């Protein structure tokens, strides 16, 4: 039975998006096996220096690896799958909302875009977009 999962993002700027998600999740860019960096790896595959791929991982090993690959087309519709960034686990009401709002402020400073708040007085989440327009939720 397979237990490991990698989440792949189609994107325009793989390294830039990888570094954004590193800041969001506390991950680190990890070079591919046998290479000192993704830049070196990409140069070997694309002599013109096209940075077509990048990846980052959870330094603790608990979270899934994130892989970023350049694609020619831009994002045109809502994601069918999205990440929930778990900020307010175990909290409810105003305490939860305050934790989500604080994290939202931090991520907006990194380039994320706040879309909308979903709040029913007890439970809440904030729908956001990353720097390439991919939806995710602060949950």
Predicted pLDDT at 48 = 61
**Predicted TM-score of the model (pTM):** 0.89
Alpha carbon distance 110, 88 (integer Å)? 20
Determine the pLDDT at residue 49.
56
99-124: b (≥16 Cβ within 10 Å) or e: bbbebbeebeeeebeeeeeeeeeeeb
Instruction: Report, as ranges of residue numbers, the positions in the chain whose pLDDT lies below 50.
Output: none
How is residue 30 written in tokens? 């990890």
Residue 24 pLDDT: 97
Q: What is the pLDDT of residue 46?
A: 67
Q: Does residue 124 contact residue 118 with C-beta atoms inside 8 Å?
A: yes
- Across the beta sheet with 83-85, the strand order is 83-85, 135-138, 124-129, 113-119
For residue 61, give the DSSP letter: S
Question: How much is the pLDDT for 72?
Answer: 87
């Amino acid at each position: 039975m397979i237990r490991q999962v990698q989440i792949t993002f189609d994107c325009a700027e793989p390294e830039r998006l990888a570094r954004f998600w590193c800041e969001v999740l506390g991950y680190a860019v990890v070079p591919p096996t046998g290479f000192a960096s993704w830049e070196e790896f990409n140069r070997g595959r694309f002599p013109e220096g096209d940075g077509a791929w990048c990846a980052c991982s959870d330094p603790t090993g608990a979270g899934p690896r994130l892989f970023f690959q350049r694609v020619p087309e831009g994002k045109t519709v809502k994601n069918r799958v999205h990440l929930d960034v778990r900020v307010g686990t175990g909290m409810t009401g105003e305490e939860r909302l305050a934790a989500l709002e604080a994290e939202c402020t931090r991520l907006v400073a990194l380039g994320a875009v706040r879309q909308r708040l979903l709040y029913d007085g007890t439970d809440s989440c904030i729908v956001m977009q990353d720097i390439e327009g991919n939806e995710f939720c602060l949950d």
